[in-house]
Structure 1
């Protein structure tokens, strides 16, 4: 019987149900309705693939299923009163079409991808401007390509779609110089490149990967998985990229023990790659550049960042990056022999048929992933230019804040990094709370930096980091997106001021 407090059974799914957002769950636990608000935002989706949207005016509550997840329940029954599988409310029998929602990393906020002004609720606060709005190409628009992949019978193993994307990416981003190798994510790409650059190690020897502490955890994790110990250096006070003096001092102090120098192109900013090529020759070290957010950045010579560099540069194609797919990464270098070694290592080290001749792992990108990347190439210059215009609006709207000194002609901004106003009276947490009250979601990358995280404190060598500590303590990450408008930037600036 389908009463106001009952649930309507839906067909079982293979995977257990899990919510993608925690905001509505928190409100349900407090006995309040999730309230969709204006813009009719999507429901949190379960891993079983529910695609129903809240119907305007329908009263919804959340009830736990047997797996412990929360699901929508229509009517006035208290949350948690009726266990069971996910069932569609009577008011939602009709199927509503919507774009699949995505989850801003670290925000716990669910919003439709590509929406101009999504609104969700967390802790009783309406989020009008999310931190990130991932915008990969729509698989639903790529059905002919997916059908062609099915017809070909090739789904991975450097297939034809992947090969086409590598060629077009080399032409588009690097003027046809060198070559590209796709990987299934940028962290795997870093591990692969580090292992190739470090070479074989004597048994029992401690070897270091020199990197900044002001970076994402994946940088250090990749080094550890490659058998190296992170050696953490300081950053430049203006560019927020690795400090040349700190790197030089550590190269002298740990002479003969550093296997790889691993600079991070912070927030997509440029680096002096000629200097790193010289360091490789002078100290006999490998170079791997972590350029996770740099795909689409332009250097001072109006070329794509990294063009012509003979060492491996690793870019991310994660859904939250400017060049958004789902999961994926790209390795570029202008050394055909190095690129061939990396490709072999990414296929289990099979230098001969089914025979490993070198270290290896499986780094291959699927054909479906390559199709998403291929589709993202179209119109990407306009996306980068739009984000750069939004960054300029931030600089104009926040004259009291300190911004990263740009190296190069253009940065492919993922979000807007900014140092808190010098005259701001309270701590960063208070400013973030103030932004949240104004409906603005923000972050603080990279705080804590690596040397402040317990695991890396145990396994790393850490230099003096005065600039890193100062920058990290005041860093803010403000919203930026393909669909964001200058008016929304002005709203954020007003909330910060």
Structure 2
């Protein structure tokens, strides 16, 4: 192939000329941050889009995760997945919380609810699952365990923008759900994030925590952080919302093209959804299993040699990094499905501007032995 390099993703951006009027308004107002007009507009617009009542915007998803844990006063141990980006567990570490890893479901690659109960100890205070690749967790089963043991549930929903189950947005589940608007995500604000809040009181606490703990000009009520989203990011978000349906439709078309072209390739398994009513096609993961003539890493290199840069999301497991590997819950024998997925997964390029002719070339490389 060897034409232009094709990366696993490329940010969706609106026409630059359409962003200029937003910038002029910022210049005219001289309000750059601290909950300005665009910040307030984006909060309202996202509440309407998701069908939720309260949302708090953040500078990024990681700070949002850290603050969500603080907002619910989580301590001790939190049960989570080893199969995710490191920010999931790092947010726990930053709060002095011990992550406890349990295995994933081999079909959805989400946290397996059946594994949670045996990992609960007197120190367990919460569960932090991930809607991996935007495919919803088994929220009913997780909620049942949480209710039985009086645990909080914080969803890392970084991948789940726009995803719906039978009852509406998946973001309504759990005590809190946390989004990322990073440049690699379906919806981006350059950098950004958000927390979906169940009630006004929780929103007030989170808004205080993301603004150094300020509860007024001369009152500080908590050791908060500077997690506020700027007006530039919020303005971009307002414009991006106008294009989100177009973005999702483009991703859907690319997803369908991959599935059609790879469905008969031995040893290549295209990951399926987990019952979502509306998907967001945020990633296109395949599992390269023993039926394929070369290893996952050999295929990874073959694609790179042809100018295609897939990613091994998520390899290695979080539990194998130095700051986590000594935890008892990190032992590989306790995480067979997560270990297998990490050794087989390859996320292929998917983004709105990706041409179907390039998808054809990628699939040809995978299909040719």
Question: Which of 195, 217, 220 is 2:70 aligned to?
Answer: 195
Alignment partner of 1:317 is 2:181: yes
Alignment partner of 1:430 is 2:305: no
1:410 Cα deviation (Å)? Answer: 2.9
**Separation (CA, whole Å) in 2 of partners of 1:365 and 1:422:** 46
Alignment partner of 1:494 is 2:353: no
**Separation (CA, whole Å) in 2 of partners of 1:316 and 1:351:** 26
- Residues 406-431 of structure 1 deviation map (CA, whole Å, 9 limit, x = unaligned): 12023222331110154222222211
Q: Higher helix share goes to which structure? A: 2
Report if the CA contact (8 A) 2:113-2:141 is conserved: no
In structure 2, the partner of 1:334 is 198
Question: Which of 414, 419, 428 is 2:287 aligned to?
Answer: 419
**Separation (CA, whole Å) in 1 of partners of 2:29 and 2:20:** 14
In structure 1, the partner of 2:219 is 355
- Residues 312-352 of structure 1 deviation map (CA, whole Å, 9 limit, x = unaligned): 11111011111122110011133222222111111111224
**Separation (CA, whole Å) in 2 of partners of 1:358 and 1:286:** 21
Q: Under a length normalisation based on structure 1, what TM-score does the superposition of the two structures give?
A: 0.69
- Let me know the Cα RMSD of the aligned residues: 2.0
Gap change, CA 1:279 and 1:345, over 3 Å in 2 = farther
In structure 2, the partner of 1:267 is 133
Aligned residues: 361
Q: How does 1:29-68 map to 2 (within 5 A)?
A: none
In structure 2, the partner of 1:185 is 60
**Separation (CA, whole Å) in 2 of partners of 1:179 and 1:284:** 24
1:138 Cα deviation (Å)? Answer: 5.1
**Separation (CA, whole Å) in 2 of partners of 1:278 and 1:346:** 31
Runs of at least 5 residues in structure 1 that lack an aligned partner in the other structure = 1-118, 120-124, 202-206
Report if the CA contact (8 A) 1:156-1:365 is conserved: yes
Q: How does 1:36-435 map to 2 (within 5 A)?
A: 126-137=3-14, 141-172=18-49, 174-175=50-51, 177-199=52-74, 207-251=76-120, 254=121, 256-301=122-167, 303-307=168-172, 309=173, 311-399=175-263, 400=265, 401-407=268-274, 408-435=276-303
Q: Under a length normalisation based on structure 2, what TM-score does the superposition of the two structures give?
A: 0.92
Alignment partner of 1:441 is 2:318: no
**Separation (CA, whole Å) in 1 of partners of 2:11 and 2:68:** 27
1:186 Cα deviation (Å)? Answer: 0.0
**Separation (CA, whole Å) in 2 of partners of 1:457 and 1:133:** 32
**Separation (CA, whole Å) in 1 of partners of 2:140 and 2:283:** 27
**Separation (CA, whole Å) in 1 of partners of 2:232 and 2:314:** 32
**Separation (CA, whole Å) in 2 of partners of 1:421 and 1:473:** 9
**Separation (CA, whole Å) in 2 of partners of 1:335 and 1:208:** 25
1:397 Cα deviation (Å)? Answer: 1.2
Report if the CA contact (8 A) 1:233-1:247 is conserved: yes
Larger CA Rg, structure 1 vs 2:
1
1:127 Cα deviation (Å)? Answer: 4.3
**Separation (CA, whole Å) in 2 of partners of 1:354 and 1:391:** 53
Runs of at least 5 residues in structure 2 that lack an aligned partner in the other structure = none
**Separation (CA, whole Å) in 2 of partners of 1:496 and 1:372:** 37
Report if the CA contact (8 A) 1:311-1:335 is conserved: no
Gap change, CA 1:411 and 1:354, over 3 Å in 2 = farther
**Separation (CA, whole Å) in 1 of partners of 2:254 and 2:213:** 44
Report if the CA contact (8 A) 2:113-2:138 is conserved: no
